[in-house]
């Protein structure tokens, strides 16, 4: 990477790609790229001096980036093979690397702390990064979400060789990494369009464990169906929320909207830790992140302060609007296990309130593969509004629609709705606790729902 002075990113506005764009820009390189649509994130990047175009025609590539000797091209898996700019770069002998390859190079030059898992990895890695960054250890970090503490997905430290990275299992991207320490939060089957079978999915995580460097460690959630393939000299630790293991939480208490617990390590404990984002699922994520911090020299007091001051991640249990009548939250959950955990956490916080969930399924293949599991998770709600599937990179699959989820949802208060009709439907309803779920473009509805609730003085 060091021989290039310009970087062109195809899919610049993706959460992982944008962190790389910011990284190279901060390092003093020239950075530009393409994305399909303009978003708040791409607007932020443009304001930071990163030139982005939204037309894949070759003549939209800035002239300065047309030299293969000075420009490295980085591509995300979301870019199709027939993309015009990608074809141009291939035909003209540019070096093209996947985002994961670039992150792999960074981990080989540092002590990579890599957090993997079907769900929980963004929150766990962001908590871990916060714990390290605010301590005397410090770290750099490439995050899979926008940290509310720092309003960015990139942290840089000149004084530390640690770098926290979210290890993405999609397209086997995490096999490019060279972790010093790693966490596996979960290995529930997903991305079966890539892996075909749940067994192949788990084997991919086992391959990931073999990449941890000698002298490092694997911290794995207790009970995960993954058999580690550790190199000699790599330590194995287990963790859980309250099921034991080397690291766990004890004496978990929910009082007046706050969560407190004792953090238990192999040799000592930190009593009465207050969780900054009081959602039950974050207890388990915090245990994993605190284990990473503890193993890498963050003091007990720094861990206590860090967990208390962690303020969450954009679109992870964000409280968007709160009044005496209505509480509105937004969450990124898009896998059945995530939905189940999210809804359970919300019900634990608000046991006596009616919970209305608005869910936008993400990907036709995921909907096809897990429709019964989605239905079971969503049946925990008091009321369900189910939107159409967000296709992302996929073409429609015959016979696959949101209806194959809805028909198996067991609660009576359920309805299908288009995104265009959502606001008018919500205006007709008596709302108490409202939550939007999904990884598609449902986030564009969040400010509109908030405005409606404020305008109607709910």
Report d(CA 11, CA 405) in Å as an integer: 31
Mean predicted confidence (pLDDT) in 249-269: 92
pLDDT at 1: 56
Least confident of 4-13, 81-90, 343-352, 368-377: 343-352
Closest CA to 350 of 305, 380, 316: 380
- How high is the pLDDT of residue 281? 87
CA proximity to 419, closest of 395, 397, 440, 393 = 440
Mean pLDDT, residues 76-84: 90
Query: pLDDT tens across 17-49, in order?
Result: 999 999 999 889 999 999 988 988 999 999 999
pLDDT of residue 349: 82
Taking the CA atoms of residue 130, residue 244, residue 241 and residue 171 in that order, the dihedral angle to the nearest 10 degrees is 70
188 pLDDT more than 90: no
Rounded Cα gap, residues 250 and 121, in angstroms: 22
| Residue range 127-144: mean pLDDT, rounded | 96
Q: What is the pLDDT of residue 257?
A: 74
**pLDDT tens-digit series, residues 319-358:** 899 999 999 999 988 889 889 989 998 898 888 899 999 9
The mean of the pLDDT values for the chain is: 93
Least confident of 54-63, 338-347, 400-409: 338-347
Percentage of residues of the chain with pLDDT beyond 90: 79
What would the two tokens of residue 78 be?
């979301």
pLDDT bracket for residue 2 (50, 70, 90): low
For the stretch 93-122, what's the b/e string if a residue is b when 16 or more beta carbons lie within 10 angstroms of its beta carbon?
Answer: ebebbebbebbbbbbeebbbbbbbbbbbbb
Could you tell me which of 104, 157, 147 has the C-alpha nearest to residue 126? 147
Q: What is the pLDDT of residue 458?
A: 85
Return the higher-pLDDT residue of 1 and 374.
Answer: 374
Is pLDDT at 159 greater than 60 in this prediction? Answer: yes
Q: Which of 190-204, 238-252, 268-282, 324-338 has the lowest mean pLDDT?
A: 190-204
pLDDT given for residue 393 in this prediction: 76
Q: Taking residues 98-120, report their average pLDDT.
A: 93
Please state the pTM of the whole predicted model: 0.80
Give the pairing type, strands 318-322 and 327-331.
antiparallel
- Residues 45-67 have a mean pLDDT of 96
**Structure-token match 């409280």, residue found:** 319
| Domains of the chain, CATH where assigned | 6-94 (3.40.50.720), 102-309 (3.40.1190.10), 318-455 (3.90.190.20)
For residues 89 and 372, what is the distance between their CA atoms, to the nearest angstrom?
43
**Res 250 pLDDT > 70:** yes
pLDDT digits (tens, 9 = 90+) for 287-330: 999 999 999 999 999 999 999 999 999 888 888 999 999 999 99
Say if CB 402 and CB 368 are below 8 A apart.
no
Confidence of residue 432 (pLDDT cuts 50, 70, 90): very high
């Amino acid at each position: 990477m060091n021989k290039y002075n310009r970087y062109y990113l195809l899919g610049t506005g993706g959460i992982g790609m944008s962190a790389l764009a910011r990284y190279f820009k901060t390092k003093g390189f020239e950075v530009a790229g393409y994305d399909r649509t303009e978003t708040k994130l791409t607007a932020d990047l443009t304001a930071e001096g990163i030139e982005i175009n939204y037309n894949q025609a070759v003549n939209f590539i800035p002239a300065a980036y047309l030299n293969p000797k000075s420009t490295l091209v980085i591509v995300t898996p979301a870019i199709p093979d027939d993309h015009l700019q990608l074809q141009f770069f291939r035909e003209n002998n540019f070096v093209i690397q996947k985002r994961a390859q670039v992150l792999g190079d960074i981990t080989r030059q540092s002590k990579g702390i890599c957090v993997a898992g079907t769900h929980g990895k963004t929150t766990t890695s962001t908590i871990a990064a916060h714990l390290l960054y605010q301590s005397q250890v410090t770290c750099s970090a490439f995050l899979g979400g926008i940290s509310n503490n720092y309003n960015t997905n990139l942290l840089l430290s000149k004084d530390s060789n640690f770098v926290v990275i979210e290890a993405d299992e999609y397209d086997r991207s995490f096999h490019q990494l060279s972790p010093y320490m790693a966490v596996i939060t979960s290995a529930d089957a997903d991305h079966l369009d890539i892996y075909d079978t749940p067994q192949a999915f788990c084997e991919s995580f086992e391959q990931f464990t073999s990449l941890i460097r000698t002298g490092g460690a694997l911290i794995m959630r207790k009970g995960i169906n993954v058999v580690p393939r550790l190199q000699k000299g790599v330590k194995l630790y287990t963790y859980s929320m309250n099921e034991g293991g080397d690291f766990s939480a004890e004496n978990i208490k929910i009082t007046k909207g706050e969560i407190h617990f004792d953090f238990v390590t192999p040799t000592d404990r930190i009593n009465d830790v207050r969780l900054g984002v009081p959602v039950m699922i974050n207890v388990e994520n915090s245990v994993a992140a605190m284990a990473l911090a503890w193993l890498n020299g963050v003091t007990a007091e720094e861990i206590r302060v860090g967990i208390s001051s962690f303020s969450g991640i954009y679109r992870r249990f964000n409280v968007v609007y709160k009044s005496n009548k209505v509480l509105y939250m937004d969450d990124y959950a898009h896998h059945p296990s995530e939905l189940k955990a999210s809804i359970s956490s919300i019900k634990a916080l608000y046991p006596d309130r009616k919970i209305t969930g608005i869910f936008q399924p993400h990907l036709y293949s995921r909907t096809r593969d897990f429709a019964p599991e989605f239905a079971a998770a969503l049946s925990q709600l008091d009321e369900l509004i189910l939107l159409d599937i967000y296709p992302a990179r996929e073409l429609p699959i015959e016979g696959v629609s949101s209806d194959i989820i809805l028909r198996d949802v067991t609660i009576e208060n359920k309805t299908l709705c288009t995104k265009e009709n959502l606001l008018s439907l919500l205006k007709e309803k008596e709302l108490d606790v409202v939550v939007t779920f999904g990884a598609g473009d449902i986030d564009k509805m969040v400010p509109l729902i908030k405005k409606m609730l404020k305008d109607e003085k709910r």
